[in-house]
Amino acid sequence: MNNPFRFIIFLSLASLFGSFLSAESIKVLLVDGQNNHNWKATTPVLKQALESAGRFSVTVSTSPARNGSKDDWAQWNPKFGSFDVTLSNYNGQTWPESVQKGLEDYVKGGGAFVVVHAANNSFSGWLEYNRMIGLGGWGGRTEKNGPYLYFDDSSKLVRDPRPGRGGSHGAQHEFTVKLRQKEHPIVKGMPSEWKHAKDELYDSLRGPADKVEVIATAYSSKSKRHEPIIMTISYGKGRVFHTPMGHADYSMRCVGFQDVLRRGTEWAVTGKVTQALSKEFPSADKTLSVSSK
């Protein structure tokens, strides 16, 4: 075979291989721009954690600042439908109605949504958002937004409708993640208990909780209850993955958090998980974090 033909075959194979990789890549839209947490520090960690797996390509959409003009907001229009999954690292002022409707239609129609930490504080007055995320905190949430979900000491899921505020946490600390659905694809193969890096442990989350499945909990010494820490929610034809973990960049560098993030994001898109756990994973008595470099 002469060189020209070899070259043509090489180009053809390269094109096919490139198409294969492109088809396998999960396109992520990461939304940030406002947060009571340091989103400028956490967004790069989220992006790197996903893209380092070789399974995701991440595009960041940054909203206008809180003092943004009407023109700024009019020009910000995330194209949710152009991506396989939207990840929210946003906690700020309410989005324009057109953007709200865009997210609702996207997830209801079969899109995937991922909620990390303070993103569950957002939009307490947006009913469909609360249905999407299942449970949320702060923003004036109370029993009127829905029950408080937790596990009691007998490992029973409790839906508590009694009056109370939604959202609280104690001082940051390392805490133990306890699996409640060990065979769920997001956590399958993980130790039944593993220690997460220093983080805020949310408690007293409230919401519609119509189609919430609690995959893992963490015991809060503040609430004296086992609080949901890894959740999935069904919304229309779409799937939602929600974790209240991830207060800061150092929290997100926990190997356990990053594996949960990658697996949860893939599950939200496909309904299954193909990614193996990290070779080194936190144990029940020791945290493990990736380097900040």
For the chain, the structural domain boundaries read 25-270
Question: What pLDDT does residue 2 have?
Answer: 54
What is the distance between the alpha carbons of residues 64 and 220, in angstroms, rounded to a whole number? 35
Tokens 């949860």 sit on residue:
264
Say which amino acid occupies 70.
K
For residue 238 the two structure tokens come to 């779409």
- Regions of the chain where pLDDT drops below 50: 4-5, 7-23
CA atoms within 13 A on the CB side of 197: 18
User: Helix, strand or coil for residue 212?
Assistant: strand
Closest CA to 247 of 27, 46, 81: 46
What is the distance between the alpha carbons of residues 45 and 52, in angstroms, rounded to a whole number? 10
Q: For residue 247, what is the DSSP state?
A: S
Question: What pLDDT does residue 292 have?
Answer: 77
Q: What sign does the dihedral 32-36-39-40 (CA atoms) show?
A: positive
Question: What pLDDT does residue 50 have?
Answer: 98
Full-prediction pTM beyond 0.85?
A: yes
Question: What pLDDT does residue 293 have?
Answer: 66
User: Helix, strand or coil for residue 8?
Assistant: helix
Long-range contacts of 158-163 (CB under 8 A, 24+ apart): 159/209
- 25-270 carries CATH number 3.40.190.10: no
Widest CA span of the chain, in angstroms? 80
